Amino acid sequence: MRTLEVSVPPESAGERLDRFAADRTGLSRSYVQRLIAEGHVVLDGAPTKANAIVAGGSVLRVEVPDPTPLQLEAEEIPLQVVYEDDDLLIVDKPSGLVVHPAPGHAGGTLVNALLARDTTYGGIAGVQRPGIVHRLDRDTSGLLMVAKDDRAQASLMAQLKARRVKKTYLALVLGAVEAPVGRIEAPIGRDPRNRLKRAVTSDGQPATTGYRVRERLPGWTFLEVDLVTGRTHQIRVHMAALGHPVAGDILYGTGTARKGPDGLGRLFLHAWRLELQSPADGHLIRAVAPLPADLEEVLAGLRARGAALDGLPTPGRIGR
């Protein structure tokens, strides 16, 4: 058990207790609410509620229980480690790999692969998600951070919450995106007609996505996409709402977008670059995962098609 003690500054007076505690400790708000319900949070020495209002000068005491021993099995699943230090791993997750166990996926996940490594992980996100601070959809490939202890996990979660982690994706989308640079600001919530999907809704959570055109191809546009917020399926929802669904997206795409260009066998979405601050000393960490070979082949096919239509020599790969 470790204990966190925080004094409420005057400028925070009037805030909800769960929100204040999450902001000041780096713990997720849902985890703080669970700790409150279990009696691990006291305000000025007395039990409290999640919706209590804090007053300036009050003292908040949060007890974080030691992680419960995992009931998960380690599995020797190959992992490509892009960056590693004493605080964190950054791995390049392949498409098709589920991040953490869930109903229907008790094994064969990234978490099972992580447990086969000789290291420990942060436990504040729950025993089924050791070290996990964010996730990628099963069909999305690319970079994912994993914390090696609670301190690093709290730091990374706080950076994500404060939007200090820069996440850039590569995506192929249907049609010709008109503006070379754009920004989508549209709230995202659960789709009222399909609970498996998200949608742009008036009462959804704020969501912001930036994009830049990297290459124009016959019938498609290759984009760099900045994920400013991190809502579920955000890029897929925003691009579909813009009229340019991601290639190979069987959930949000229809017709041509759903199938994708010739040779595409999965979602064309890749977490390409991460920039964050070291949990230890704050120095900048930058990691890059090159576009996987299967997606490069799809682009090469589109470039060849474009060159044939123009009667020009086939262009080579555009490096970046």
pTM above 0.85, yes or no: no
Confidence bin at 319 (pLDDT 50/70/90): very low
The domain 80-161 having CATH identifier 3.10.150.10: the answer here is no
80-161 against 166-310: fold identical: yes
* pLDDT of residue 318 exceeding 50: no
Pairing of the two strands 141-147 and 269-277: parallel
User: Which one of 69-73, 185-189, 192-196 scores highest in mean pLDDT?
Assistant: 185-189
The pLDDT tens digits for 21-39 are 887 876 777 788 989 999 9
CATH 3.40.50.2300 for domain 166-310: no
pLDDT > 60? residue 1: yes
What is the tens place of the pLDDT at every residue in 191-226? 988 878 999 999 999 999 999 999 999 999 999 999
Q: Find the helix packing angle between 150-161 and 17-25, rounded to 10°.
A: 120
The Cβ of residue 171 has, within 10 Å, a number of other Cβ atoms equal to: 26
41 close to 21: Cβ distance less than 8 angstroms: yes
CATH of 2-64, one of 1.10.3720.10, 3.10.290.10, 3.40.50.300, 3.40.720.10: 3.10.290.10
Confidence of residue 320 (pLDDT cuts 50, 70, 90): very low
Residue 83: what residue type? Y
Q: Flag whether pLDDT at 6 surpasses 80.
A: yes
Is 137 among the catalytic positions?
A: yes
pLDDT in tens, 77-107: 999 999 999 999 999 999 999 898 765 566 8
Of residues 148 and 309, which shows the higher confidence score? 148
Domains of the chain, by residue range, sit at 2-64, 80-161, 166-310
Least confident of 91-95, 139-143, 260-264, 311-315: 311-315
pLDDT at 67: 62
Q: How far apart are CA 72 and CA 36, in angstroms?
A: 27
The residue annotated as part of the active site, out of 87, 92, 137, 249, is 137
